[in-house]
Amino acid sequence: MLNGFKDFILRGNVVSMAIGLAVGSAFTAVVTGFSKAFITPLIGLATGSVGDFSEASFTVGKTVFPYGLAIAAAIAFVITAAVLYFLIVVPMAKIQERFAKAEAADPKSAKRDCPRCFTEIPAVASRCAHCTSEVEPIAGSLEKLGVPLPR
């Protein structure tokens, strides 16, 4: 039982996910710090609030609504998402596109109808599996398989 758990923990996907979460939380801390130190005060200056915009709030009755914290969190999220997208997702997509191999089309997947019984048969077939009548295989499909054409 413990061997199965050990195998699960040491599997590459679990370790990669744990590393990704640790790096993601550290990156989020950096972006949140940048947002609080630079972006939020700039927005505060632009909107007329003095200093830190994240401390902006309004009161209804005895309840305080710190809407500045929500806006600061939203800004941190947008910055984090933009940086991750433009610095990780887009380059990785380009790398995957560059190294992706074109999938070879399966010549057996091409279908046609039998001229005698009108059932669907592979394009490379020389005999119908349903009515057993001989049919002429399509030349291009045989070449894709590497089968020489009959002479």
Q: Does residue 37 contact residue 52 with C-beta atoms inside 8 Å?
A: no
H/E element, 99: helix 90-99
pLDDT above 70 covers a percentage of the chain that reads 77
Q: Does the predicted model carry a pTM greater than 0.85?
A: no
Nearest to 35 by CA among 87, 70, 61: 70
Per-residue pLDDT reduced to its tens digit, 91-136 = 988 888 887 766 555 666 778 888 889 889 888 888 888 888 888 8
